[in-house]
Structure 1
Amino acid sequence: MTMNERKTIDLEQGWEFMQKGITKLKNILEGLPEPQFSSEDYMMLYTTIYNMCTQKPPHDYSQQLYDKYRESFEEYITSTVLPSLREKHDEFMLRELVKRWANHKIMVRWLSRFFYYLDRYFIARRSLPPLNEVGLTCFRDLVYQELNAKVRDAVISLIDQEREGEQIDRALLKNVLDIFVEIGMGQMDQYENDFEAAMLKDTAAYYSRKASNWILEDSCPDYMLKAEECLRREKERVSHYLHSSSEPKLLEKVQNELLSVYATQLLEKEHSGCHALLRDDKVEDLSRMFRLFSKITKGLDPVSSIFKQHVTAEGMTLVKQAEDAASNKKAEKKDVVGLQEQVFVRKVIELHDKYLAYVNDCFQNHSLFHKALKEAFEVFCNKGVAGSTSAELLATFCDNILKKGGSEKLSDEAIEETLEKVVKLLAYISDKDLFAEFYRKKLARRLLFDKSANDDHERCILTKLKQQCGGQFTSKMEGMVTDLTLAKENQTSFEEYLSTNPHANPGIDLTVTVLTTGFWPSYKSFDLNLPAEMVNFNFSYFLVISFLPFGKFEPKTMELIVTTYQASALLLFNSSDRLSYSEIMTQLNLSDDDVVRLLHSLSRYAIDASIVRIMKSRKVLGHQQLVMECVEQLGRMFKPDFKAIKKRIEDLITRDYLERDKDNPNMFRYLA
C-alpha cells in the first residue's frame, strides 16, 4: 500500500495501542505474569510511532508523542515508584532504590526503542534532548531530588558502621553510589555535591574523635600502626564502593585528622617519639613514620630536623669520648700515640654507615634526609680532637691503613671499603686543603721510606679523592706516586751500570730518588759537606738518599741502612777512631741543633738493639721494668732519654717486634 493509500491513525487511537505496550512493559518490570515481547510485538509498536510521525499535517503527531513519552515515565514514577520508596527506610529503602533505578533504565531502553523514529528525525531537527536523556531526567527530577539526602545519610551511616568493624553489604553501597554518578549523565556534580562533600565531612569528624583518644592512650608506634591501618582500609573502601575520584580527597581528610593535627605531639612523645625511635634503632617504626609523614604537606621537615639533631648529638658524644680518653692518657702519662684518635675516626665511619643506611632504607633516599645527615656530620666532623684537626685525623687514619705495620690489620677488600668511607667523610670537612697538606706529607714519608704497604691501594684512594674533590686536588699526589715508580726504574738502570763499570763503585750501595720539586712537600736543605766516597756520585737533583754503608765490625760484616746525614757522620769514622762533638760539627758543616738531632738518631739504633735483647731474654715485661733495664744496659755508652725509649718501643710495636697485651696496655710481649 502506498503512502497516499495508508489509513491515517488519529492520536487517541494510536496512543491507546501504544499504552497497551507500555502497560505490558510495566507489568514485566513489576514482576507480574506477562509474556515477554516478541519481535512482532516490538515491530508493531515501532511501526505505529513511525506511521504517526510521518502522516501529513495536521496528522503528524511527533510533538504530542514526544510529550507523551515523558508523561509515561512521570505517571509511572508518581503512581508506583515513589510510594514504594517512601514507605521504606535505611537499608531497605536503599535496596528498593537500586531495584527501581535498574527497572527505570530498562524502561528507558525499551521505550526509546519503540519511539526510535522520534530520536532520528524530530529531535535532531528541533534540537531537543534525546529520548534517553528525557527518561533519566524524569527519575532525577522526581525520585532523586526527593530522596538524595535520605539516601546520602543512610549510606554514610553504613560506612561508619563498617569503620566500627561491622559487616555491611558493600555491593549494595556500590550500586547506590553508581546512581549518584549515573544520574549526572557524564557530570560528577550530583556525586560530589549531594554525597561526597557530606561523606568527607563525616570522615573528618569520625577520625577526629578517634585521634583525640588514641593520642592520649597510645605510644607513637602504636598510633602510627593504627593510622596506617585506617589509611589502608579507606583506600580499600574506595576500591569496593566509592568512586575512584574520591580516593585522594578521602585520604587527605584521614591524614589531616590523624597526622597533621597531631604531628608535633606524635613526633615529640616522651618515651616513644622520633627521638626515642632513633635512640632505640626502631628501623621499622621509623620507616612507617617516613611513609606516613611523607603524605602530609611539609610533614617530613620536623622528622628530618629531629634526625639531624640526633645524629649531631651522637657525633658530639664521640668527640667528647675521644677528648676525655685523650686527657686521661695525658693525666696517666701513657703514651698511646694517636690510638685514641684512630678509634675516634673508626667510630665516626661506623656512625656514618649506620645513619646512611637509615637514609637509604627507612627514609627512602629522600633528599631532605641526605641534607640532614650532611649538616649533622659537618658539625662534629669539623671539631677535631685533642688538639688535632679533623683533616689531620683523617690523613693519619689513612696513613695507618696504607703504611706497612699500621695499626689497622685489614684484608685488601676491607681496606678499599674503608678508604671509600674515609673519602666520603672528607666531603664534610670544611678545610679540605689542610687534609691535602697532611696527606701529602704522610704520603711522602710512606713513599720515601718504603713504608707503603701496597701501590694499588695508594692509587685506589687517589682515584676516589679525585672523584670527590677534582683533579686539581690530587695532581701533586699522583705526581709523587709516579716519581717513585720512575725512581725504581732509574735505580735498576743505575745498579746495572755499576755492575758493568766496577771502577765507578766506591764501596757503598747508593739509592737515589729523583723527585719533581713542585709535587713534594718542601724540605729544609743544608750545605752538608759530603765525604769523598759520596762526592764521586754526581746527580742533578735529589731530595732523599738512603745509604747502605759497610763498616768492618769483627768478626763479621754488619749491614746498616741509614739516611744521608747518618751515613755522612758514620763515614767520618772510616778515617778516625775518635771524634769530638765540635770536630763532627765542623767536618759536616752542620749547626749545633742538627748535630744533636743526628747523634740522637744514631743512638736510637742502640736503644732498639737493647730493647730487643732484653725482650728476647724476658719474653714478657712491664713498661716500667723495660725502660729501667734499657737505661741500665745503655748507661755504659750514654744516658738515653726516657721519651726516646718510649718512642722506640712504639716503633718496634709497629714493626712487629713487640706487641701490647690486649688486657694491659702497659705490658709488652716479644714476637719472635
Structure 2
Amino acid sequence: MSFISRKPKAKIRPPKSRNSVQNAVQEGWQRLARAIQEIYRRNASQLSYEEVYRSAYTMVVHGKGEQLYQGVQDLIAEHLESRIKSQLLGSNAAGSTAPTESALPSNTSSIPGAAPSTPAATSNILLVIEDIWTEHLTCLLLIKDILMYMDRIYCPNAHVPVTYEVGLQLFRDHVIRSNLVPVQTHLLDAVQHNIDTERQGGSINRSTMQAIIRLLTMLPDNLPRIPQTVYQHAFEPSLLQSTTAFYTQQGAEWAKHLGAPDFLRRIQEALEAEDQRCDLYLTQDTKPKFKEILKAELIAQYAETLIALPTGVISLVNDNQHDTLRLMYQLFSLVPESLEALKQALAEHIHRLGLEINQQALTATASVPQKLRGTSKPEPLASLQWVQAVLVLKQRVDYMLATCFDGDKQFDVAFDQSFMKFVSQHPRAPELVSLFLDHYLKKGTKGKTEEEIDAIVTGTIAVFRFLTDRDVFERYYKQHLARRLLLDQSISADLERSVISMLKTECGHHFTSKLEGMFNDISVSADINRQFHEHLEATTQASTGAGFRLNVQVLTESYWPLPTVRTGPKTDNAANTSGRQTDNSVIIPPLVQQKFDQFTDFYLQRHSGRRLTWQHSTGNVDVRCRFKNRQYWLNVSGYQMLVLWCFDQIPDQAFLTFQELAQETGIPEYELRLSLRTLACGKYKLLTKDPKSTDIDPTVDKFRINVDFASPLTKLRIRPALSSGGDGRSKSGASGANATAFGQQGGQVESEQEQHETKARIEEARKNLVEAATVRIMKSRRQLGHNELLAEVTRQLQPRFMANPMMIKQRIEVLIDRDFLERDPNDRRIYHYLA
C-alpha cells in the first residue's frame, strides 16, 4: 500500500479594494501625524513604536513615500513656526490675540539687524533659541527612528535628504532664517555681544554659547556647490571682522599707555584668551584665524614700536629682564619680519656695548700718567680689563641666547657678527687677547683655582674666534709663549697644550705647527741638559766652572720669535725682516764662556752639521750677592748679569762710566741703557748713579754698587726696563722683538712705535702668504678669472687674516712679473699658470 504526498494547492485571495488601501494609507498618515505632534508635546512614551513604524512602512510600500516625506516636513515646519510665534513674537500657538511675552530685545523688534541693548536681552534670545534647538534635535532623533524605513528605501531612490538632514534644513529655514523674525541677525548679534563682553572682562553663560555655536556649525548652508555651515558662511566672517576692529583699537590704546613689558603681556593674554575661547565654545577652525589677526594687529603692527620704546629692547637687555625678552622672542617668532627686526636690534645693541668697551679701554690706557709708562707696573686696563669686559659681555649674551632665545642659530650668528665687528675695530685686539692668555697661563695667578683658570682660558678662545687678524695674534702669542717656556713660567703644560689644541681646531694645523715645535724644543732641551750634566760628571770637566750650573734651551730658529739686538732706537722704516743680528759681540766672562764652549763641543759631537748661535739677551741668571751682611738671590737677565759682573771685579766705592761698561761688556749701547736704567733707576736700585736722574746719559753718567741696598725679600726678580728712546726716556710698552721679548716683563702692550714695527713685519709676511696662496690655487686650476681668483685667495687666507683685495692685486702683478702667471691675450681678466 503506498501513499503519494502532494503539495497543497495555493489559495488565491482576491485583491483588496482600492478604497481599502487608500483608507489604510490615510489612517496611517493620521496616526503618524498624531505621533509626531505627541513627540513635540513630549509624550513620546505613550506611543507604540511598532504601530507608528508600521504606518510609515505601509505608506512607503504602497507608493505614498512622497506624501509621507512632504507631510513630515510640513508638520515639523508648522511646529517650528509656532514656537517662533509664541516665544519670539509674543503670540500663542492657537492663533489667539492674547499677548504673551516676547524674547526679542525691545529696541530691535522693529529694527532688523540692530544689536541687543542689554545683557538680559542678549541672554534671553540665546536661551530661547537654545531651548527650541534642544527640543527640535531631541524630537528629530525620535522622528528619524520611526521613519527609518522611509530613509532606507524612499530617500535614496528619490535622491532626497534623509529625515535628520531635512530636520536641520527646516530649523535653518524656519527658525534661524525665519520670514517672521530676523532671528539670524539677532542671534549673531547676541553671540557677538557676548564675545565682546567677555573680551572686555565681563562674564557670560559659556554653556549657552557652546550650544548656540554647535547649532550654527551643525546647520548646513544652502549655498550651491559650496559645502559650508551657517557658522562658516553667516557668522565667522563678521566675527573675524569684529575681532580685527577690537584688537586694532586695543593695540592703539596699549601703545599709548603701556610700556613694552606690559604691552607684551597683554598680547600674550589676548592669545591665550582667544585660544581658550575657541576651546570652550567656538570652533578649532577659528583658532588659527584669530591668531593671524592678533599677529597682524598686535605684533607685526607694533613690533618696531615695542623694540624702540624706552622700555624696549635696550632697557630689557641692560636690566637683564630675561623673562620679558623671552616673551618678546616667543611672540615675535610668530611673525618672521618682527623676529628679524628683533634680531637686528639686539645685534646692533651688542655692537654698541662692544664699542663702549673699546672706548673705555682706550680711554683708560690714555689716562695712564706718562711717568708710569715704561715702569715695571703693568697696565691692567689695557691688557686685562678689555678682554675681561668682552668675556663678561659674551657670557651675558650666551646666557641670554640660551635663556631667552632657545639657542636660535640665526640669533647666534648675528650676535657673533656683532662681536666680530667691534672686536676687529679695536686696534690692539689680537695683542690684548694674547696678553690676557699670557696672564692666566703664567705662574703666580692668585685667587683663581685651576678649574676657574681653565674656564677663563676656554672663554678667551671664544673671544679669539672674533679676531679677523689671527696672524697678528699668532705673532704675539708666540712671543708670550716663548717667554713662558724659556723662563719656566707656565702654570701647566697640559693647559698650554690644551690652548694649542683649541687653536688648531679653530685655525688648522699650519697655524699651530710652530707652537707645537716650541714645546718639542723644550722637551728635547730637557733631555739634552740631562745628558750634558751626566757627561760633565763622567769627565774631568766636572770641576771646571764649578760654582754654577748651566741649563741651555736649544731652539729651532724657524719656530721661535728670536729677538734682534738693537743698537739704537728704531725709526719708522727700521723694521728688519730680511735677517737677524745676533749678540756675538758681547764679552762673556771667561768662566762662563768656558761652560758655553763645553756645551757647544758636547752638542756638536752628537749633532754634526748643525750650528749653534748663542742668544745672550734671552737668557736669565740667578745671581747670589751680599749687601750689609745679608745674602740675596737675584734673578736677572743675561745683560744685567754682565753689568753686575763688572762691579764684582772692582771695589764697592769705585765708579764705572757708561763708556767703560760698554767697553767691558760689549753690550750694544741701546740695550746697555735699558739694563742700567733697570739696575739704577728701577724698583730695586742695586746701583747708584751720578748725577741722579731717571734718564741715562752715556756722556756723563757713572755708576757704582749701592752698598746701602736693602730689601725685606731675599729672592728678587729684577724686571728688565721697557724699551726706551735714544735719550733714555721711557716709552709705553714692551718690545716684541728686542731683548725684553723673553725678559721677565709681561702684561704690557707695545708702544705705538713698536706696534708700527710689528705691523710692518706682518704686512711683509702677508705678502708672502698671498703669493703662496695664489700660486697654489693657480697651479691647481691652471686658468682662472680675476674675481674668482680674488675670492678663492680670500677664502683660503680667511682663517689667518682678511686679505685686502688691493694687496692681492699687487701680488698678482708681482707674480706676473716673475713669470709665475700670465694674462690671457684675448681677455686680460683671465690668468694662466706658467709651469
- TM over 0.5, shorter chain: yes
Kindly provide the CA deviation profile for residues 446-475 of structure 1, in whole angstroms up to 9, marking residues without a partner as x.
112212121122122223333333444333
In the alignment, is residue 252 of structure 1 matched against residue 255 of structure 2? no
Q: Which whole-Å deviations, capped at 9, do the CAs of 1:113-155 have from their partners, x for residues lacking one?
A: 2222233333344544333322322222332334333211110
Aligned to 2:442: 403
Q: How many Å apart are 1:62 and its aligned residue? A: 3.3
Q: Of 145, 149, 153, which residue of structure 2 is paired with 1:117? A: 149
Show the counterpart of 2:737.
Answer: none
Q: Single out whichever of 228-237 and 467-476 deviates more from structure 2.
A: 467-476
SS of the counterpart of 1:380?
A: helix
CA contact (8 A) 1:18 1:45 kept: no
Corresponding residue of 2:34: 23
C-alpha contact (below 8 Å) 1:149/1:194 kept by paired residues: no
Q: What is the distance in 2 between the residues matched to 1:3 and 1:419? A: 113
Unmatched tracts of structure 2, length 5 or more: 1-9, 90-101, 105-121, 564-579, 696-700, 707-719, 735-739, 746-835
| Residue matched to 1:514 | 554
Change over 3 Å in CA distance of 1:610–1:295 after alignment to 2: closer
Check whether the contact 1:607–1:645 (CA below 8 A) recurs between aligned residues: no
Partner of 2:380: 339
Partner in structure 2 of residue 662 of structure 1 = none
Q: Which residue of 2 aligns with 1:176?
A: 212
Number of the residue aligned with 1:536: 598
Structure 1 contact 181–187 (Cα < 8 Å) conserved: no
Counterpart among 81, 103, 111 of residue 88 in structure 1: 103
Q: Residue 140 of structure 2: which of 108, 117, 120 is its match?
A: 108
Shift of 1:43: 2.0
Deviation at 1:525, TM superposition (A): 5.5
Q: Does 1:241 align with 2:315?
A: no
Deviates more, 1:324-333 or 1:563-572: 563-572
Q: How far off is 1:392 after superposition?
A: 0.6
The alignment status of 1:157 with 2:213, answered yes or no, reads: no
Q: CA deviation at 1:378?
A: 2.5
Q: 2:80 aligns with which of 62, 71, 77?
A: 77
Q: Give, in whole Å, the separation in 1 of the partners of 2:625 and 2:79.
A: 132
Tell me, in whole angstroms, the C-alpha distance in 2 between the residues paired with 1:304 and 1:189: 43
Match of 2:168 in 1: 136
Q: Which of 295, 304, 309 is matched with 2:334 structurally?
A: 295
Cα root mean square deviation, aligned: 4.4
CA distance, structure 2, for counterparts of residue 360 and residue 223 of structure 1: 24
- 1:636 aligned counterpart, secondary structure: strand
CA distance in 2, matches of 1:606, 1:641: 11
Which deviates more, 544-553 or 455-464? 544-553
Preserved contact between residue 404 and residue 453 of structure 1 (Cα < 8 Å): yes
Partner Cα distance (2:66, 2:487) in 1: 111
The answer to whether the aligner puts 1:193 opposite 2:236 as a matched pair is no
For residue 35 of structure 1, report the CA deviation from its aligned partner: 5.7
Task: Report the TM-score, using the length of structure 2 for normalisation.
Answer: 0.64
Report whether the alignment pairs 1:36 with 2:45.
yes
**d(CA) in 2 for partners of 1:536 and 1:573?**
26
Deviations 1:253-295 (A, max 9, x none): 23433333333443333x4333333344433333333333333
Q: 1:483 to 1:242 in 2, by over 3 A?
A: farther
- Cα drift, residue 549 of structure 1: 9.0
Work out the CA distance in 2 between the residues paired with 1:173 and 1:421. Answer: 59
Superposition deviation, residue 433 in structure 1: 1.9
> Residues 600 and 98 of structure 1: is their aligned pair in 2 closer, same or farther, counting only changes over 3 Å?
closer
* Corresponding position: 1:304 with 2:307: no
CA drift of 1:413 comes to: 1.4
Report what 1:218 is aligned to.
258
Judged with a 3 Å threshold, the aligned counterparts in structure 2 of structure 1 residues 6 and 316 are, in CA distance, closer, same or farther, namely farther
CA distance 1:28–1:445, change in 2 (3 Å):
same
Instruction: Say whether the 8 Å CA contact 1:219–1:272 is kept in structure 2.
Output: yes
Q: CA deviation at 1:627?
A: 7.8
CA distance in 1: counterparts of 2:674 and 2:133, whole angstroms: 108
Aligned partners of 1:440 and 1:521 also within 8 Å: yes
1:419 aligned to 2:421?
no
The match for 2:423 among 381, 392, 408 is: 381
* Equivalent residue, structure 1, for 2:711: none
Q: Structure 1 residues 3 and 328 mapped into 2: Cα distance closer, same or farther (>3 Å)?
A: farther
Question: Is the Cα–Cα contact under 8 Å of residues 251 and 298 in structure 2 kept in the other structure?
Answer: yes
| Higher mean displacement: 114-123 or 332-341 | 332-341
Match status 1:446 vs 2:484 = yes
Give the direction of change, closer, same or farther, for the CA distance of 1:193–1:511 in structure 2 (3 Å limit): same
- Considering fraction of residues, name the structure with more helix: 1
SS at match of 2:552: strand
How far apart, in 2, do the equivalents of 1:551 and 1:361 lie?
59
Do the aligned partners of residues 83 and 489 (structure 1) sit closer, same or farther apart at CA in structure 2, a change above 3 Å counting? farther
C-alpha displacement at 1:395, in angstroms? 0.6
The question of 1:10 aligning with 2:21 is answered yes
Inter-partner Cα distance in structure 2 for 1:252 and 1:267: 21
Which position in structure 2 is the counterpart of 1:622?
none
Give, in whole Å, the separation in 2 of the partners of 1:417 and 1:83: 83
Is residue 678–residue 721 contact of structure 2 (8 Å, CA) maintained in 1? no
Alpha-carbon separation, structure 2, partners of 1:37 and 1:474:
99
Deviates more, 1:521-530 or 1:91-100: 521-530
SS at match of 1:361: helix
Residues 165 and 289 of structure 1: is their aligned pair in 2 closer, same or farther, counting only changes over 3 Å?
Answer: same
Cα distance in 1 between the residues matched to 2:260 and 2:649:
86
Describe the shift of the 1:399–1:44 C-alpha distance in structure 2 as closer, same or farther (beyond 3 A).
same
Matching residue's letter, 1:274: V
User: Displacement of 1:398 after TM fit?
Assistant: 0.7
Which residue of 1 is the match for residue 500 of structure 2? 462
SS at match of 1:513: coil
By how many angstroms is 1:551 displaced?
Answer: 9.6
Q: In the aligned structure 2, how far is the partner of 1:364 from the partner of 1:549?
A: 57
The offset of 1:174, in angstroms, is 0.8
Partner residue in 2 for 1:526: 582
1:152 to 1:476, Cα distance in 2 relative to 1, 3 A: farther
> C-alpha separation between the residues in 1 aligned to 2:13 and 2:83?
42
Q: Residues 395 and 435 of structure 1 are in contact (CA less than 8 Å); yes or no, is this contact kept in structure 2?
A: yes
- 2:750 is matched with none
Give the counterpart letter for 1:369 in structure 2.
Answer: F
Greater RCO, CA 8 A, separation 6+: 2
**One-letter code aligned to 1:636:** R
Shift of 1:646: 8.9
Amino acid across the alignment from 2:405: F
Name the CA shift for 1:233/1:6 in 2 (closer, same or farther; >3 Å).
farther
Equivalent position amino acid for 2:347 in 1: K
- Kindly state the Cα deviation for residue 559 of structure 1 after the two structures are TM-superposed: 7.8
Q: Distance in 1 between matches of 2:294 and 2:12?
A: 69
Q: Which stretch shifts more, 329-338 or 538-547?
A: 538-547
- Aligned length, in residue pairs: 621
Shift of 1:304: 2.8
The residue identity in structure 2 corresponding to 1:36 is S
In the alignment, the residues of structure 1 paired with residue 315 and residue 39 of structure 2 have an alpha-carbon distance, to the nearest angstrom, of 69
Q: Which amino acid aligns with 1:363?
A: F
Deviations along 1:358-394, whole A, 9 cap, x unmatched? Answer: 232233333443244223322321232xxx5101111
Q: Tell me which amino acid in the other structure corresponds to 1:430.
A: T
Distance 1:440 1:547 in 2: 19
The residue that corresponds to 1:597 in the other structure is 671
Give the corresponding residue for 1:352: 394
| Identity across the alignment (%) | 25
The TM-score with structure 1 as length reference comes to 0.79
Separation in 1, partners of 2:694, 2:676: 19
1:232 aligned residue: 272
